[in-house]
A and B are shown apart, each in its own frame.
Chain A
Amino acid sequence: MKNRLKVLRAERDWSQSDLADHLQVSRQSVNAIETGKYDPSLPLAFRIADLFGLPIEDIFLREG
């Protein structure tokens, strides 16, 4: 699944580690989600959405 995590992170001048700290997950998790290697669970997706103050569908995009 495509996502806008990298852009949203860059807008706040956060590194992957910064975002990982905010979400209380590992940096590998952020990297895997950002690069599309791993789709987060709904609870984690909601945490990401809450952190950026956006609806989930504004962060995670349908393929195609």
Chain B
Amino acid sequence: MTPVQAWRDGLRRVAAAPSIIVGVWVMTSLISLPLALSLRGDLARHLGSSLAADAAASGVNYEWMQEFTDQASGIGLTFRPTILGFGAVLDNLSAFVDNTARPVLIVGAAAAYMAFWLFAAGGIIDRYARDRVTGVHGFFSASGVFFFRFLRLAIVMFVVYGLLFGYVHPWLFDRLYPRLVRSVDVERVAFSIRAGLYLAFGLVLGGCNLIFDYAKVRAVVEDRRSALGALVSGVRFVRRNPGATITLYALDVALFAATLAAYAVAAPGAGGAGWSMWIGFGIAQLYILARLCVKLIFWASETALFQGRLAHAGYVAAPQLAWPDSPTAEALQR
């Protein structure tokens, strides 16, 4: 199977399982919602019955936003103009590549979100590997089975990503970069150097990400119990298929970039508080759905490639999972 075929197959597999897309979107929204409601309460309290709300409702009341942020704490500090439209995407992407600290509550939400993905990963990859409907029962069975295996893998991932963002990134951007541009008096040159460092860091990050992805895929497809074994086999697969895996990863990254580009054009502005607000929110949710699909396509296409290259096509080694009956049912059967 070529990378392009795997990529197209990945697209097909994701499209064939809309309930997974809906499910991860619901979870993304559910984790965001409590904080959004909390912020909404803060905003409403600050506005009270002020006429400032009228301007804020009909457009942007930047003066009020500044007043609010000046007295805010916690997540309120993130309520800045950069949440608007495509600026929000740039803000997050820039914060990610520049390793910018976020408030504790945001980090907490992100941790919960990653825990959700860790749990759901087994079920999602299992669904894409089987390439057939597994149902709620099968999905959660697989998720439950692989959660603890992935939890062990997550320890390795935590260490690796921790090293990358805790040591490598600060070394590259806080120590090496200032040294490299120390005597640079042309901004374009400085940017080229920084872009080069982004690329270098991105390649390392992407490489790790690629290996961890195939570790998860192999763990599920081959029903591996050992997280370390899955990791080693992930490395082995990438090493033996470097062209295919990297090309496929690049295709997925290109899809991610295309998604961002599309949203850059379609991202809603401030708008009003009536129907335009909901239209804007709807467009933004389509973007979030697209981002989620891209993430799922990474896994689905990698699963397809692995199955096409190494495993029997469409074959999943893991036995059909059966949820155990309740102790009461088992007692009755005896």
Verify that A and B bind, or say they do not: no
List residues of A whose CB falls within 8 A of some B CB.
none
List residues of B whose CB falls within 8 A of some A CB.
none
